[in-house]
Amino acid sequence: MINMVVRVRLRIRRNDKVIDTSALANSGYEAETPQLLIPIKLAQLLNLWPPKGESETVFETAGGPLRVWIVPKACKIKVITEDTESPEVIVDIVISPLADEVLLSDKLISELQIALEDVGRGIWRFRWEPKEKVRYSEPPKYWK
């Protein structure tokens, strides 16, 4: 069996820019607000890089300290599937120079109403769907 994670198809909207990508649901990414961590390449496409006075901070991660820039309430996002979509959520964007894919924080996973059913097999559903509903992880999208 192949080890999986849960990735969802995400639509990111900032002003007139709309970008679809996959995003990793990382329940270990603890945040006080709904946060979407993105690589610099994606931040450039959203006109969020280079920083224009955004708050620079350091996150403590399992791999050590990580310098990031936070842009509060910068984008609206939603999960899109072949047959439905999540509510749209306003998110704080966290820009990471080391990330190569998009990460959903724990609070954002909750706001998007994602239920992680079997992370090892990449299975999830929306909380409002019956427990029998099975959705599978999206392929990764790397922003290098």
pLDDT digits (tens, 9 = 90+) for 91-109: 999 999 999 999 999 999 9
Within 8 A by CB and 6+ apart from 79, the residues are 8, 9, 10, 11, 85, 86, 112, 114, 126
Q: Are 143 and 38 in contact (CB under 8 A)?
A: yes
Tokens standing for residue 132: 């029998």
* The total number of structural domains that make up the chain: 1
What is this structure's pTM?
0.93
**Per the domain annotation, does 141 fall within a domain?**
no
**Per the domain annotation, does 107 fall within a domain?**
yes
**What sign does the CA torsion over 38, 61, 121, 25 have?**
negative
**Per the domain annotation, does 66 fall within a domain?**
yes
- pLDDT tens for each residue of 4-34: 799 999 999 999 999 999 999 998 899 999 9
**Per the domain annotation, does 144 fall within a domain?**
no
User: Is the pLDDT assigned to residue 58 strictly greater than 90?
Assistant: no
CATH of residue 81's domain is: 2.40.70.10
**Per the domain annotation, does 26 fall within a domain?**
yes
Q: What is the pLDDT of residue 4?
A: 74
How buried is residue 58: exposed, middle or buried, by Cβ count under 10 Å (0-12/13-18/19+)?
exposed
> Position of tokens 């959520």?
89
**Per the domain annotation, does 130 fall within a domain?**
yes
Question: How would residue 60 be classed by pLDDT, with cut points 50, 70 and 90?
Answer: confident
For residue 29, what are the domain limits? 7-136
Distance CA 70, CA 38 (A): 10
